[in-house]
Each structure stands twice: as structure tokens, then as C-alpha cells.
Chains A and B, each alone.
Chain A
Amino acid sequence: MIDKVASSVEQALGTVPDGATVLVGGFGTAGIPNELVDGLIAQGARDLTIVNNNAGNGETGLAALLKAGRVRKIICSFPRQTDSQVFDGLYRSGKIELELVPQGNLAERLRAAGAGIGAFFCPTAFGTELAAGKETREINGRQYVLEYPIHADLALIRAETGDRWGNLTYRKAARNFGPVMAMAARRTVATVHSIVALGALDPEAVVTPGIFVSKIVQVARSATLAGGARQSV
């Protein structure tokens, strides 16, 4: 019997080794797996490479992981925010490595990892400093840059509803990086707001098939309700 439902965040995360590459879903307020990031802080792994669109906001979640000195390198598209003071300080003092990746390349490099693609030629960033030193090729009169996949040990994502096979649906724009990150990691842990019986999810509406998911864990909904509710309900 397959049962991917974990009883706690701690159980869902299992052992995360030092030096692991960890994908963290979310964009803005939508889809950030805060409970799993808090779990990673509690779990203790160090020397991590983190992949996220941003580099932490405020003092909680990813920013707290950075502040705890547990992240060696961050791969992201948009580190600079009004409230990215934790990252800004680490970066300016040379305590964290930054690999800046155009957002679409970030998504496609994750997708490529999940799809078993060795590398791909992409027109984004050709002729810019983000393509400096990279292999290029002209194909049908257009210039492309060779980009490599981003493989990871672990993906932490936030979904909406799951079943014990790990099938997932998402909610609105909280989907963002979830599906491609789930594909790209050797192990994927998803939080969900509800767990339903097998067969209850409309098979036509499953966004991430359970084959890409290792564990799901139910958490309270927060900051997602119309009406601006930020508290758990």
C-alpha cells in the first residue's frame, strides 16, 4: 500500500543532509511552504544551496534560515526586495554566494531536471552579463545560450489538496513553481490544506501527479483567504 501522508512536518522532511540542494516553492505571498522551511530550520542541516524565486523576506521563513547561517548559496531571480535585509547583509559581507538566474530560465532549468533533459539552448539573456562565459549557438538565425538543469535533493512546496498517492492540486497563483520543483528533486515534500480519499480528486484536475511527490503533510491554511485573513483558520 502506498501512503505518502506524513503525520508531522518533521516526519515528512526526514533527514536532510548537510550540503543538500533544496528547492523552495512560492512567489510573493503565494505558495510559500513556510511550515516546511521552519521544519528545515529545526532539523538543522547546514551548508545548504537554496533555490527560490527570491532570497527571503522580513525575518521569518527563508530569511530566518539565511540568518541562522545555514545557507551557503542561493539560486534565485530576484533577491533584492524592500524587506530582504537578511540576504542583503549576508551578500554584502560575502557570507553567501548568489547565482542570479532569469526567472524563466529558473523555471525551465527545473523543468529540464525533472524531464531528464541534459541541457537546452535558450534565447533569454543572450548578449547580457548573465550569459557571460556560457556556450552560445546560432540556430535558424537566432542566438541562444546553453543552460543546464537544476537538480535537487529535496523540494519543499505548498499545494492545496492531496491524496495518499501524493496527487496534488494547487490554489490560484500559489501554483507558481510547485509543479516544476516537484519534478526536479529526488524527494518532494508538499504541504496541503486538505487530504482527501483516493478517487476524490477529479483526475482531470490533478496538476502534480503523485509520481513526483514523496510526502504530503496537512497544515492549517494561512494568509490565503479572500478578505485578507492572515491568521490560521
Chain B
Amino acid sequence: MAYELRSRNEIAARVARDIHDGAYVNLGIGMPTLVANHLPAGIEVILHSENGILGMGPAPKTGAEDYDLINAGKQPVSLLPGGCYFHHADSFAMMRGGHLDICVLGAFQVSATGDLANWHTGEPDAIPAVGGAMDLAIGAKQTWVMMDLLSRKGDSKVVAHCSYPLTGIACVKRIYTEYATLGCTAQGLRLIDKVAGLEHAELERLVGLPIAATS
């Protein structure tokens, strides 16, 4: 049966649908930043940037950038009314102290039980850089991953055990991909939803792991 994959914007919109009114959310660098463009109208979501901003708003118009007001990806942003600034120790206390509701991250690999690898390829000549990835992974009440299911080589990035160096253990609750949304549990993967027309068996074949059906 034919099926159509979700575009990056459609994955972002799918993530955004699961974000509740009043949530404090950190969107990781890269694909997750798209989620901000798809937050449903009529709800208030407060975006956190780990360099010290709550109530982060969109990029300013060209010419109105302020280089003291940037996000964690070092891009110019704005501050919404009610937003505020704070120092780095307070910012990371918001994560590790369990105050952030949701963190959405990109990933190289996620294991069926929610181990995350997203900071380092482990290649011998690669210069390691971690930033806030390890703090984010274990800090929020819920950590979600948004990524392509398959690597450029066609391998599943959802795996039994991560082969890349770990960012955190059993920290990912959900994986949003172009094929499906999966839950990570201590017992393994659980299907949350999939694109229309994609057979469950075909999804399991692509992932290479059993996926418990939605109850």
C-alpha cells in the first residue's frame, strides 16, 4: 500500500500538537527549532533557551538583530512580553531541577529503551563538543527526539543499542519521525501513530525491531 512520508515541517507540526497549553519547552538546535513555527494558536507555550532566556520569541527582522539577544544556536532572537533573562547556573537548574516540561532534541541514534546518542560521532579525528546536550537529555520532565528515521545510508537510527557515544541513558520518551511516532519504554518500542497506508509490519522491518501496537 502506498504511503506518503511526513515532511520536516509536518514532523514539527506533529510534535507541536503534543505540546500542552502553559508548557515550558526547550527546542534543541537544528530540526527541533521548526516546532516553534507550528505551535497551535490559542495556547501559550514558553520557550527556554539555555543561554539564559525564558519567553524567547522569533528571529527579529533583518536590521533589527541584537547581538546580546541570541539563542543557544547563537542566532538572533527576540523576547516576548513577560520574558526574562537569567544566568547559566539558573538556566541549567531549570533543566536539572525538573522545571522544564518538554525538551525536543535531534539525534544520531535512539535505543528502543530511550538511550540517546546525539553529541559525538566517536570518530577518532572528530573534535568532541557537548554543549548542553547531556544536561537537556536528562533534565526535562519529558525528552522527545525529532529526527529522520533512516540515516543517509538507509539504516534505522532507532536501534537496539546505540553504537555512537551516549548522551544519556533511558531518557527519551518519544521519537517523532517521517514515518511514525514511537514511544520508548523499558520494554521497548511502542507505536503512537504512523503515516496513513504504512503497514505495521513494514514499519517494524524498516526499524528492525519489534514495535508494540497502540493499545
Taking Cβ atoms with an 8 Å cutoff, the residues of A that contact B are 27-31, 77-80, 84, 87-88, 91-92, 98, 100-108, 110-111, 122-130, 143, 170-180, 207, 223-228, 230
Please name the residue on chain B nearest to A100 by beta carbon: B128
Q: A77-B132, A103-B135 are in contact. Are A30 and B51 (CB under 8 A)?
A: yes
Tell yes or no: B104 within 8 A of A by CB. no
Please name the residue on chain B nearest to A125 by beta carbon: B134
Sampled A-B contacts (23; CB under 8 Å)? A28-B70, A30-B69, A77-B129, A78-B131, A80-B129, A92-B127, A100-B130, A104-B88, A104-B95, A107-B89, A110-B89, A122-B96, A124-B96, A124-B138, A130-B130, A130-B134, A172-B85, A173-B52, A174-B68, A177-B87, A178-B87, A180-B88, A226-B66
Q: Min CB distance, B56 to chain A, in Å?
A: 9
Please name the residue on chain A nearest to B128 by beta carbon: A100
Q: Which residues of A contact B96 (CB under 8 A)?
A: 104, 122-124
Tell yes or no: B177 within 8 A of A by CB. no
Is A102 a contact partner of B133 (Cβ separation < 8 A)? yes
Q: Which residues of B contact A224 (CB under 8 A)?
A: 66-68
Complex Cα spacing A92 to B60, Å: 38
Q: In which size bucket is the chain B interface?
A: 35 or more
Tell yes or no: B199 within 8 A of A by CB. no
Is A128 a contact partner of B168 (Cβ separation < 8 A)? yes
Is B138 a contact partner of A126 (Cβ separation < 8 A)? yes
Is A92 a contact partner of B166 (Cβ separation < 8 A)? no
Q: A172-B66, A172-B79 are in contact. Are A78 and B129 (CB under 8 A)?
A: yes
Taking Cβ atoms with an 8 Å cutoff, the residues of B that contact A are 49-53, 60, 63-70, 74, 79, 85-89, 91-93, 95-96, 125, 127-135, 138-139, 165-169
Is A27 a contact partner of B51 (Cβ separation < 8 A)? yes
Instruction: Beyond the given A78-B131, A108-B92, please list 4 additional residue pairs across the A-B interface where CB-CB is below 8 A.
Output: A79-B128, A106-B88, A123-B139, A226-B65
Q: Min CB distance, B90 to chain A, in Å?
A: 9
Q: Min CB distance, B92 to chain A, in Å?
A: 3
Is B88 a contact partner of A177 (Cβ separation < 8 A)? yes
Q: Min CB distance, B42 to chain A, in Å?
A: 28
